[in-house]
């Protein structure tokens, strides 16, 4: 084999090595559809009990936001404000052992809990008889993750 023949052999050997390397790299790379692993974080969320309506008998009280989302493993620091100028309300999230029996008008309370397991956890006003629509003062914490 002459010098040119050896050059071709070396060229194809290098080309084959690059192709093998590329195929191996592709085999060990996550496909585009795979999601990144979730790293637990501290998540600060504000929630407020908001009053809508001028007439006392027709007032509507709701938690805003009504849905709070966290990832399993996150520590949630919840700042709860009662913006109702006239009545006290409470906050209960039984799935996370959070219970604040009373938040006076205009006051804010901060609680902290670990979102341990994926699921939907309901929260509600903890002060029975706070308003005619007490039973409607509900919300949910959605904890995402693989069960
Ligand atoms: Cu209430």
107-118 in b/e form (b: 16+ CB < 10 A) is eeeebebebeee
Give residue-wise pLDDT tens across range 134-144.
999 999 999 99
Do the Cβ atoms of 87 and 122 come closer than 8 Å? no
Tally the domains of the chain: 2
CATH number at residue 132: 2.60.40.420
Residue 78 structural domain: 42-144
pTM as predicted: 0.74
Strands of the 119-124 sheet, one edge to the other:
67-71, 138-144, 119-124, 89-93, 98-103
| DSSP tag of 113 | E
CA of 132 to the centre of ligand 1 (A): 9
Give residue-wise pLDDT tens across range 103-143.
999 999 999 999 999 999 999 999 999 999 999 999 999 99
Are 21 and 77 in the same domain? no
CA of 90 to the centre of ligand 1 (A): 6
């Amino acid at each position: 084999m002459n010098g040119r023949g050896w050059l071709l052999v070396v060229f194809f050997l290098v080309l084959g090595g690059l192709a093998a390397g590329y195929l191996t790299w592709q085999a060990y790379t996550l496909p585009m559809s795979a999601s990144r692993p979730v790293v637990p974080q501290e998540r600060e969320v504000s929630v407020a009990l908001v009053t809508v309506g001028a007439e006392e008998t027709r007032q509507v009280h709701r938690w805003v936001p009504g849905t709070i989302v966290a990832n399993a493993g996150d520590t949630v620091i919840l700042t709860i404000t009662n913006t109702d100028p006239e009545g006290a309300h409470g906050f209960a999230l039984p799935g996370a052992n959070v219970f604040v029996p009373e938040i006076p008008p205009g006051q804010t309370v901060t609680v902290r809990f670990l979102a341990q397991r994926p699921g939907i956890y309901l929260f509600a006003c903890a002060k029975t008889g706070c308003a005619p629509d007490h039973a409607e003062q509900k919300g949910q914490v959605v904890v995402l993750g693989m069960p």
